[in-house]
């Protein structure tokens, strides 16, 4: 089914991503099956699979397993920027379900805060903000790291994500 979906030249890229997200959300395509397909695919295919997973986890974060999250975290180190940013968004959507995966996810996300791509850095900021909301002990290390990132970050749009996350974190700790 996945092979045919990607072979269909009549589908525009956005339509393919949306259709794939629907198939994953409704259970027609299992998430594990999608990630196996993504792992074997070329960078654009992997990125499309990750984007469809991001769409699906926005609606149903519970569809992924710890093993899939591990694959997503490892995808943060891909060369393809689109795979990196979509992976970070999947983490942001789902990390609350996997507190044991927080340290590995944070380490991989912190590496992407230094990426040359603005969208990669923005997505890492989003996911790190979601981690802060979890109120885990890692926040003791994460807050100073985010403050250091903000000091060197050039884009105000990314700084604002961190500022909102830190402000939210202060309210949580009151």
For the chain, 174 residues long, give each residue's pLDDT as a single digit of tens: 999 999 999 999 999 999 999 999 999 999 999 999 999 999 999 999 999 999 999 999 999 999 999 999 999 999 999 999 999 999 999 999 999 999 999 999 999 999 999 999 999 999 999 999 999 999 999 999 999 999 999 999 999 999 999 998 776 555
How confident is the model at residue 171, as a pLDDT?
A: 64
CB 69 within 8 A of CB 36: no
Could you give the dihedral angle defined by the CA atoms of residues 101, 61, 32 and 85, in that order, rounded to the nearest 10 degrees? -70
CB 60 within 8 A of CB 23: no
Domain span at 135: 2-173
pTM (two decimals): 0.94
Residue 117 sits in a domain whose CATH number is: 1.25.10.10
How confident is the model at residue 6, as a pLDDT?
A: 95
- Domains identified in the chain, total number: 1
CB 129 within 8 A of CB 164: yes
How confident is the model at residue 55, as a pLDDT?
A: 96
């Amino acid at each position: 089914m996945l092979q045919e979906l990607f072979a269909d030249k009549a589908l525009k890229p956005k339509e393919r991503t949306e259709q794939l997200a629907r198939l994953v959300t409704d259970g027609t395509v299992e998430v594990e099956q999608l990630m196996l397909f993504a792992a074997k695919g070329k960078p654009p295919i992997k990125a499309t699979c990750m984007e469809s997973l991001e769409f699906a986890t926005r609606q149903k974060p519970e569809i992924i397993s710890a093993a899939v999250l591990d694959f997503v975290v490892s995808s943060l180190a891909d060369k393809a920027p689109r795979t990196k940013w979509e992976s970070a968004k999947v983490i942001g959507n789902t990390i609350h379900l996997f507190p044991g995966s927080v340290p590995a996810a944070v380490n991989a996300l912190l590496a992407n805060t230094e990426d040359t791509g603005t969208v990669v850095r923005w997505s890492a900021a989003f996911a790190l903000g979601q981690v802060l909301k979890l109120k885990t002990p890692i926040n003791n290390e994460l807050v100073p790291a985010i403050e250091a990132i903000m000091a060197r970050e050039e884009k105000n749009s990314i700084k604002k994500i961190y500022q909102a996350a830190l402000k939210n974190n202060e309210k949580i700790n009151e």
